[in-house]
Amino acid sequence: MKNFEKRILHDLYESVEGLYAFTLYSRYKVEPSELFIFIEKYSNKGLLHFESDKLELTNEGKKTMFKQLRKIKSSSGKYSNIPNEFIGDKIEIDSPYIPNITKLSKEILNLQNKGDG
């Protein structure tokens, strides 16, 4: 999937009543031929509906996008979805910091042990 396709699908998912073709050209400078091929591709898959110059995701398209976005979120690494209540105060970059050895993860301790050797 091309980058502009990802961006358009995301924008369509976020939109309430779809988006006009020209809006997408204004945002991403997508040539008419590229947009036409995009419309053909995703209409044929049943994910997109194009009428009166307006693009809109079908229910199937919305479900697919929802699954895609959830997948992206949950696969972004174990530190990316930390609930707010577990996030402490941030310190400035390069400010002095002494780690509490009791709170360091085993991975980091293992690394340090290897370094010591």
Partner 1 sequence: MKYNKENYHEVLKLYSKQDWLIKKEKELEELIVFCENKEEKILIFSLLERFHYLQNERLSLLLNKIADFIISSSGFDVDTTQILSITYDDEADSSQKVLDMIKVPLFQKGWKKLKTVNHYRSSIKNHKNGRNQIILIDEFIGTGKTIRNRIKQLRNDINGYFELKCCFLAGIKSAIDNLQNEGIEIFCPLQLKKGISEFYCNEVLTKTTNEMLSLESKLASKINEKELIDYSFGYGHAEALYSLEGCCGNTPNSVFPIFWWLHDNNEQCRNTLLTRFEIGF
Angstrom distance (rounded) from CA 28 to CA 30: 5
Instruction: Return the residues of window 35-64 that contact partner 1 according to CB under 8 A.
Output: 35-37, 53
Q: Which of 32, 67, 72, 76 binds partner 1 (CB under 8 A)?
A: 32
| 14/31 with CB nearer partner 1 | 31
| 37/65 with CB nearer partner 1 | 37
- Tell me how far, at minimum, the Cβ of 18 lies from partner 1, in Å: 15
User: Six-digit token pair at 117?
Assistant: 């050797």
> Which letter does DSSP use for residue 54 in this model?
E
- Give the sheet arrangement for strand 19-20, strand by strand: 19-20, 54-57, 48-51
**Do strands 48-51 and 19-20 pair parallel, antiparallel, or not at all (unpaired)?**
unpaired
Contacts with partner 1 by CB under 8 A: the residue count is 10
Q: Which of 3, 33, 80, 95 binds partner 1 (CB under 8 A)?
A: 33
